[in-house]
Amino acid sequence: MQAILALEDGRIFQGRGYGAKAECYGEVVFNTSLSGYQEIFTDPSYAGQIVVLTNPQIGNYGTNHADDEATRPYIEGLVTREFSPISSNWRSQQVADEYLERFNVPVISEIDTRALVRHLRTYGVMRGVISSLETNPEVLVAKARSIRKMDGTDLASVVTTKVRYEWDTSDPQNANEDPLALSPQPALPEPDMHVVAYDYGIKRNILRMLAQHGCRVTVVPAQTSAEDVLALNPNGVFLSNGPGDPEPVTYAQENIRHLMGKTPVFGICLGHQLIGLALGGKTYKLKFGHHGGNHPVQHTGSGKVEITAHNHNYAVDPDSLKQSEVDLTHIDLNDNTLEGLRHRSLPLFSVQYHPEASPGPHDSHYLFQDFRKMMEEWKK
């Protein structure tokens, strides 16, 4: 099966098609992770995006139910150097080719992904089309140029849960980080904290991490009012990751303003950006974003460097925040973007990266313990 990737600037890549025989549209970004492709497929933060994986061999360990971060893949399409039609791993339950075909995700492989990534680094992320149906490159370039831009697009309201639900730790897949592990997982502590988590595109491993720190979690839709959340009597509120531009998500910013000072608040990724906006700051779009599991971030207080997982296209402008109110806690060592903040007087903090990262790295797990300590102190 032949496939074509067409970018809006007219650059064309021709390769072999896998997954679904279909056509997909989205913003083309690249991820530098060496493993964890299934977690990337199923991360709701990738809604509206075609993902290029820089690791040259993808699909070789198959897929399984335990590694899903959501009920289905959210990437629009996948670009790889080599895509394995077979799997060689004892945990595999389905080859990646069949898995993506089942969810109608097209794949283009056997192209020069290094050239593509260098092109995106030079000119910035851009809209693109993968097609194993249309063979005319000019037609596909025109389609790429007609795709709605990510700027100004609220995707949190698209991917969020439609109904409130309780995170069920009795489900083996929910209770443990890896139900297929050879050694038994430690028993979860008895939950003595109640956390209400806003779902802007939440990942399952975030919910697992909260449960591992003794939290009973109620997940609510993105547009749930602050009043309804406070009526649930939470010990703390969590603001999740998610896709799209944070600026048009005004309902979330307003809710955060109403929650500040009334309960502890912890935000990750999109949640971090929304906190920045709620505090009166501004966000901006990065040239090619941060996507990967190997980004060095420094804690400004201790000087400690953490290797972290990232998946974001937007960042909070540190100069737009009031330094008298906000402590800038984490800085990216690659480009000096703001990666974490904490309010100086209110129980509120956030990070731009993913401390729950699965498969890793795990340097930043301590942030969930920090959230728990904040809730314990507030409870007193």
Give catalytic status of residue 269 as yes or no: yes
Distance of CA 175 to the CA centre of its chain: 21
Give catalytic status of residue 356 as yes or no: yes
Contact 93, 65 (CB under 8 A): yes
Q: How far is CA 76 from CA 103, 152, 167, 320, in A?
A: 10, 19, 27, 33
- Kindly name the residue from 39, 269, 295, 306 that is annotated as catalytic: 269
Close Cβ partners of 374 (under 8 Å, ≥ 6 residues apart): 236, 264, 266, 347, 349
Q: How far is CA 203 from CA 74, 112, 270, 314, 357, in A?
A: 11, 31, 12, 19, 10
Give catalytic status of residue 365 as yes or no: no
The C-alpha atoms of residue 295 and residue 212 are separated, in whole angstroms, by: 25
Residue 227: in which H helix or E strand, if any? Answer: helix 226-230
Nearest CA to 374 out of 195, 231, 218, 191 is that of: 195
- Kindly name the residue from 213, 272, 290, 354 that is annotated as catalytic: 354
Q: Give the catalytic positions in this structure.
A: 269, 354, 356
